[in-house]
Chain A
Amino acid sequence: MSALLAADLPYWVQSLLRVLGGVVAVLLPAGAIVYLFLFKMMSFMQSRLGPMEAGPYGSMQLFAEVGKWLQKEDITPERADRVIFKIAPLVVLASTFLLVAVVPFGPDAWFTNFEAGVFYMLAVSSVSVLGILIAGWSSANKYSLLGGLRAAGQLIAYELPMVLAVIGVIIQAGTMNLQGIVLAQNTGEIFGWNGLGNPYILTQFTGFIIFMIAVQAELTQTPFDMPIAESELVSGYMTEYSGFRFLTFFIAEFATAGVFSFIASVLFLGGWGVPFAWFGWTDIDSVDNWMNVVGPLIMFGKMMLLSFVIMWVRFSYPRFREDQLQRFAWKVLVPISLVNIMVTAILKVAL
C-alpha cells in the first residue's frame, strides 16, 4: 500500500492511511472473532443460539454491547494509583497496534517493511505484560494484584517458548523480515516440487504447535486463563475496570488474538501469498498488483482459521493449575523448542 502510494502522496496522507489501515486491521478481526466465535460458536458448542435479538441473528449485538459499555460509569477506586490505573488499558491496546505494524498483507500492502520484523514483533508483544502488571498493581485490590502477578509469571514463562519456536522459522527462512519469510515460503519447493510452495507448517510443525500453545497462553485464553480465573479472582487484573476502560481491555484481548493469528499465518502458513509457481512469479517485483487486494483476503481467511482453533481450544478445555502451567512451559515446551532449533540448524547446514 504505502510503497505504491509513496511516489505521489504527501507524508501526512500516507500516515493517515496507515493509521486507518491499522485501525481496520485491528478492529475488524476483533469484531469478527467476538461475534462469530465468542458469541455464536461458543453458544452453538453449548447447544444454544446465542444473541438473536439485535439485528438478524444478533449481528448487531456488537454495537449494542459497545453502546452499553460506553454508557457505564467510569469508576476509579479511591485508593487506586489514578494515572497509572487509567493508562494501563491503553498500554495493552497499544501493544496490539504496534504488533500489527509489521504484518505484511500483500506484496506492497504493508505498514512498515521492517528488516528485523520478527525481533520487533516478539519485543513489542511483551509490552502488554507491562500494561497488565500495572493494571493489577494500580487497582489497589487483592484480586487484581494476584491476577497481575499470575499474568506476569505466565506471560514471561510463555514468551520464551514463543521466541524459541520462531527461531526455527528464522533459521529456515534465513531472514527476520516478515515479508522475506512469506517470500521464502511461497517460492520454496518440497523436494523439487513447487506446486504448494513450502509453508513452514510442514517442516516446522513442532514449532507451529509450540507457537500456538504459547499464543494461547499469551492471550490468557482458557487452558491458560489462570490470571483471569473468574471463579477465584473475579476477573483478575480487570476486576476494578468498568465502562470504556474494560471495553479497551476486551478489544485488546480479541484484537491480539487476531493479530497473533495473522503473525502465525505469516510465519507458518505462507502469509498473504499463493505459491508463486502457480502464476509464474519469481520474486516480489514480479507479483501482480491484484495480490494487494487478494492478499489481505487470504490473510483474513487464514486468520479466521487460526482464531477458530484458538477459540475452539478455549471453549473445550478446563483451566490449568498454576504449577502445572509453569511446569508445562519450563519443563516441556522450552526443551522441545530447543531440540527443534538444533535439529533445524543441523538440517539447514546439512542439506
Chain B
Amino acid sequence: MPKIPGLLKGLGVTLNTLKRTALDGANTVQYPHEKEAPPLRARGVIALHEDNCTSCMLCVRSCPDWCIYIEGHKELAPPRRAGGKPRQVNKLDRFDIDYALCMYCGICVEVCPFDALFWSPEYEYSEPNLADLLHDKVKLGEWMATVPEAPAYEVGAEKKGKK
C-alpha cells in the first residue's frame, strides 16, 4: 500500500475528531450545568476541625505564604477525674486562612500533629470581593462537612509505617 502523504493524514485527524465529537460528544464538561467529580485527594479548600486544634502554631510557621492567622488563649478546664487538678487547655480565638494568598501546597495539613486540618474537594468559593476570601474559623469549620472519608490503606501499607 502506498504511503499516505502527511498533509492528507493531518486533514484526516481533524476530520475524525470532528466526527467523533459530533457522534460521541466532546471531551469537555459544560461546567455550570454539569460538574466533573474531583479526583481522590483533590485539594479544594482546607477545613478546620476546631476541637482538635491546640493552637500550637506549627501550621502558621510552616506556611510558605504566611496566610494562616492564629490567636488563642489558655483556659482552665475541669479535671478528667474527680479530685484532680484542673487541666490547662488552649482555646482558639481566631483561626483564619487567607485564600487570596494560599497556594494550596498543603504543608499545613501535613504538619498538623493533632489532625485538625483536612483537605476538602470543594472548589466553588470564589468571591467578588478579595477580602471575603479570608475564611474565619466558623467558615473553615463548615467545610468539615464536605471532607470525604480517608481512603482505605493499600494492602500492607499500615504494617510498613509502624516498623
Contacts and interface: CB of A to CB of B under 8 A. Distances in A.
Chains A and B come from one and the same complex: yes
B14 A312 contact: yes
Contacts of A46: 17
A72 interface: no
Nearest to A47: B27
A49 B28 contact: yes
Contacts, number: 40
B30 A52 contact: yes
A316 B21 contact: no
Interface size class of B (residues with CB under 8 A): 10 to 19
B99 to A, nearest CB: 28
Interface of B is mostly: helix
A48 interface: yes
B20 interface: yes
A317 B28 contact: no
A36 to B, nearest CB: 12
Contacts of A313: 11
Interface of A is mostly: helix
Given A45-B17, A47-B21, A312 B28 contact: no
Contacts of B30: 49, 52
A30 interface: no
Contacts of B10: 316-317
B21 A312 contact: no
A41 B18 CA distance: 7
Interface residues of A, number: 14
Interface in A307-329: 312-313, 315-317
Contacts of B11: 312-313, 316
Contacts of B18: 41, 44-45
B143 to A, nearest CB: 30
B21 A48 contact: yes
B82 interface: no
Contacts of B17: 44-47
Interface in A36-69: 41, 43-49, 52
Interface in B11-33: 11, 13-15, 17-18, 20-22, 26-28, 30
Contacts of A45: 14-15, 17-18, 21
A274 to B, nearest CB: 28
A80 to B, nearest CB: 36
B131 interface: no
B1 interface: no
Contacts of B15: 45, 312
Contacts of A316: 10-11, 13-14
Interface in B52-96: none
Nearest to B8: A316
A48 B29 CA distance: 9
Interface in A52-104: 52
Given A49-B26, A49-B30, A317-B7, A44 B13 contact: no
A52 B25 CA distance: 13
B27 A48 contact: yes
A43 B18 CA distance: 8
A52 B34 CA distance: 13
A48 B14 contact: no
Interface in A125-144: none
A212 to B, nearest CB: 13
Interface of A: 41, 43-49, 52, 312-313, 315-317
15 contacts: A43-B26, A44-B17, A44-B21, A44-B26, A45-B15, A45-B17, A45-B21, A47-B21, A47-B26, A47-B27, A48-B21, A48-B28, A49-B26, A316-B10, A317-B7
Cβ-closest 6 pairs across A and B:
A44-B21, A45-B14, A47-B27, A48-B28, A316-B14, A44-B18
Interface of B: 7, 10-11, 13-15, 17-18, 20-22, 26-28, 30
Given A43-B21, A45-B14, A312-B14, 10 more contacts: A41-B18, A45-B17, A45-B18, A45-B21, A47-B17, A47-B28, A48-B26, A48-B27, A49-B21, A316-B13
